[in-house]
């Protein structure tokens, strides 16, 4: 910002959106480009937002849930479908397997108990 345009106002001069973006990218350059160095780092961190989006859309359209039980059921179904998708299955394959009573591989993997308990 040009300091000569200051007309007795206090505080910082307003910066443009592009300037603010540039400054944020400079400050967080290592975080922004982490996916280039670390193959395990996702290109985007929006997976968590994607997982809850349908829940928020349902809540917005309906206004609310009729009961806490209904909200829990919807969360359980969305969690199952999200996990199946992350395991490389389509939602229809996951639902078909569920209604046939055939557990998916990620559901039957052995869970090793914590030895400290």
Helix axes 91-100, 68-86, angle to 10 degrees: 110
Q: Which two tokens stand for residue 11?
A: 């505080």
Q: Indicate whether 17 belongs to any domain.
A: no
Q: Indicate whether 15 belongs to any domain.
A: no
70 is in which domain, residue-wise?
47-108
CB atoms within 10 A of CB 84: 21
Q: Indicate whether 51 belongs to any domain.
A: yes
Render each residue's pLDDT in the chain as its tens digit; 117 residues.
666 666 666 767 778 899 999 999 999 998 888 888 888 877 776 777 777 777 778 777 887 778 888 888 888 888 888 888 888 889 898 889 888 988 887 777 655 555 554
Count up the domains in the chain and report the number. Answer: 1
Q: Indicate whether 12 belongs to any domain.
A: no
CB atoms within 10 A of CB 94: 19
């Amino acid at each position: 910002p040009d300091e000569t345009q200051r007309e007795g106002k206090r505080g910082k001069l307003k910066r443009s959106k592009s300037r603010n973006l540039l400054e944020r990218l400079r400050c967080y350059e290592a975080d922004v480009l982490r996916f280039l160095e670390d193959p395990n780092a996702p290109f985007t961190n929006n997976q968590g937002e994607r997982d809850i989006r349908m829940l928020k859309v349902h809540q917005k359209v309906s206004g609310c849930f009729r009961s806490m039980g209904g909200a829990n059921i919807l969360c359980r179904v969305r969690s199952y479908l999200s996990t199946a998708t992350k395991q490389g299955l389509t939602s229809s394959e996951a639902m078909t397997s569920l209604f046939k009573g055939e557990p998916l591989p990620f559901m039957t993997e052995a869970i090793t108990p914590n030895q400290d308990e």
